[in-house]
């Protein structure tokens, strides 16, 4: 399922090209979605509108479940990364006590902290986009729903990219091998 969503996000970003991403500081759901419709120059044909109206309630119900799962998963990830930071601090203290150079732990801790801040900001943007799509009245504003989906997909892709980068930082075997070599067990 996640692979399909990632593939869909990648394909949509290729088809759309350089797409504008809504600013999270827009005042209301209405204004954010209205701006998205304008930015994407979104006009639905009669068939597209009917198809969207038929699928919207089911899609919104699925998006509510995705939203609940996303909230849980993001909290779990942030908790995990925070624990890793605490473990790095413990490693740093141990290295200092042993007289070893612990500068890499500071660098790694800083990278993880920056990654956590990026993840938090992007997660908030993604949650806001999900809220916007879930709250749209599809019967009255199908264009808003479609634009909201497009924005949500872009926000999700950005969040997943940042999580992938943070995972790569944490899983840098070469860095951890250097730290292990300096530690006296």
**pLDDT number for residue 55:** 93
Write the burial class of residue 146 (CB in 10 Å: 0-12 exposed, 13-18 middle, 19+ buried).
buried
**pLDDT number for residue 184:** 63
Instruction: Tell me which residues of the chain have a pLDDT lower than 70.
Output: 1-26, 183-185
0.85 surpassed by pTM = no
Model confidence over 40-83: pLDDT tens digits? Answer: 998 999 999 999 999 999 999 999 999 999 999 999 998 998 89
**pLDDT number for residue 169:** 86
Half-sphere exposure of 57 (CA within 13 A, CB side): 3
Which residue is listed with tokens 């995990």?
Answer: 80
Domain ranges, ordered by start, for the chain:
2-182
Q: Which of 155, 150, 140, 137 is nearest to 60 (CA)?
A: 137
**pLDDT number for residue 4:** 44
Q: Which of 30, 40, 63 is nearest to 147 (CA)?
A: 40
**pLDDT number for residue 5:** 38
Do 150 and 36 contact (CB within 8 A), yes or no? yes
**pLDDT number for residue 162:** 95
Record the tokens describing residue 85, joined without a space: 């930071």
């Amino acid at each position: 399922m996640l692979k399909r969503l990632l593939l869909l996000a990648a394909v949509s970003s290729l088809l759309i090209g350089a797409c504008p991403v809504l600013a999270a500081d827009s005042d209301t759901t209405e204004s954010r979605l209205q701006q998205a419709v304008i930015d994407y120059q979104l006009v639905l044909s009669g068939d597209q509108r009917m198809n969207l109206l038929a699928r919207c309630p089911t899609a919104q119900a699925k998006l509510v479940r995705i939203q609940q799962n996303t909230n849980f998963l993001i909290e779990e990830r942030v908790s995990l990364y925070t624990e890793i930071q605490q473990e790095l601090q413990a490693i740093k203290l141990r290295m200092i006590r042993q007289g070893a150079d612990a500068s890499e732990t500071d660098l790694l801790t800083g990278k993880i902290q920056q990654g956590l801040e990026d993840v938090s900001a992007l997660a908030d943007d993604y949650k806001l986009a999900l809220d916007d799509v879930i709250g749209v009245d599809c019967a009255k504003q199908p264009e808003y729903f479609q634009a909201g989906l497009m924005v949500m997909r872009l926000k999700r892709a950005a969040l997943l990219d940042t999580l992938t980068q943070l995972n790569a930082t944490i899983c840098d075997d070469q860095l951890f091998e250097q730290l292990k070599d300096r530690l006296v067990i």
